[in-house]
Amino acid sequence: MSRNYFITGGAGFIGSNYVSRLLERGENVTVYDNLSRPGASRNLAWLQEKFGKTAFQLVVGDVRDAALLTASSRLAEVIVHLAAQVAVTTSVTHPREDFEINAQGTFNALEAARLNELKPVFLYTSTNKVYGGMEDIKVVEDTTRWRYADLPLGCPETQPLDFHSPYGCSKGTGDQYVRDYARIYDLPTVVLRQSCIYGPRQFGVEDQGWVAWMIIAAVTGRPLTICGDGKQIRDVLQVDDLLDAYDAVIAKIEAVKGQVYNLGGGPENTMSIWTEFGPLLEKLLGKPVPVGRGDWRPGDQKVFVADIRKAERELGWQPKIGVEQGVGRLFEWVKANKNLF
């Protein structure tokens, strides 16, 4: 039986991939998006071309508009809150806008869920940035990467929160509100602290979506700048694996409501942002990729690898798409769609 899904940010990278999946299996979908992000209108056009303009409902709206958000989500049985300001650098330059979109926007979405008589499932896409710089965790420098000295399986959900940067503060505020609404109002909410997500339909830019951005820059001949020493390690997760986790959360909501999960590639799917990714990209491209060098960014972790054992244990989920396979797929998509960039 189909359900009513309400996806904020549904024309974004993750959103459009999820909307496509939901429509393919016959769900009823409302996309709520202000279409301000680079690529949003292109993703929307792709969805309409693939499924038809009447296959889903579109509300062109902003999460800062509480009244519109509440009115348009009143029939929702599942709310997936993806809409966000997503760049640390933008948050530093425009902290008020970042707060209003991420903290207040998430509060508005939660209130819409609380006022909805259907008591919808509520998924919130948080971020590994809520753990801050993790200065208390010792890291070791190897030839091509940094690594945790004492966390071989990565950072667990029990790592103390340490919001660093306005982006970390605003997303972290939403994170804690969503968690608490499960306790205080018995709403079926789940917080998903996501690592680096990558995949097709990602219109990455320099300060957000680094895997896609570097591939796009390499394929289209745009200048690339590496901030820091290029040995920063991230666990990366292909978008289809991420969406499998969303489906698992929704299917098991009675058992997992109120929980927080790290969702990333985990220790098996890590790479350094240039000393390891660079050679892989050059191999795919078939030629060297020239890069410039820049300073470290504020709050940039030398290492972030998510410990994903809680999600594996409680959701029965684990990543299936390895780094080389996933990056290869994204590279081919960018190459085949150069006209979009």
Catalytic positions are 167
Cα atoms found within 13 Å of the Cα of residue 101, Cβ hemisphere only: 24
Q: Which residue shows structure tokens 């009513």?
A: 4
Instruction: Check: CB of residue 170 under 8 Å from CB of residue 105.
Output: no
Per the rule left: phi > 0, alpha: psi between -120 and 50, beta: everything else, 132 is left
265-285 burial, b at 16+ Cβ within 10 Å, e below that, comes to: bbbebbbbbbbbbbeebeebe
3-state helix, strand, coil in the chain (%, to 5): 40, 20, 40
Strands (E), the chain: 4-8, 28-33, 57-60, 78-81, 121-127, 139-141, 146-148, 189-194, 196-198, 225-227, 233-238, 260-263, 270-272, 292-294, 303-304
Instruction: Check: CB of residue 300 under 8 Å from CB of residue 251.
Output: no
* Residues β-bridged to residue 235: 270
Q: What is the rounded distance in angstroms from the CA atom of residue 217 to the CA atom of residue 274?
A: 13
Question: Which residues are within 8 A (CB) of 113 and not within 5 positions of it... i.e. 6 or more apart?
Answer: 73, 76, 79, 119, 120, 122, 181, 187, 189
* Residues β-bridged to residue 292: 225
* Residues β-bridged to residue 125: 192
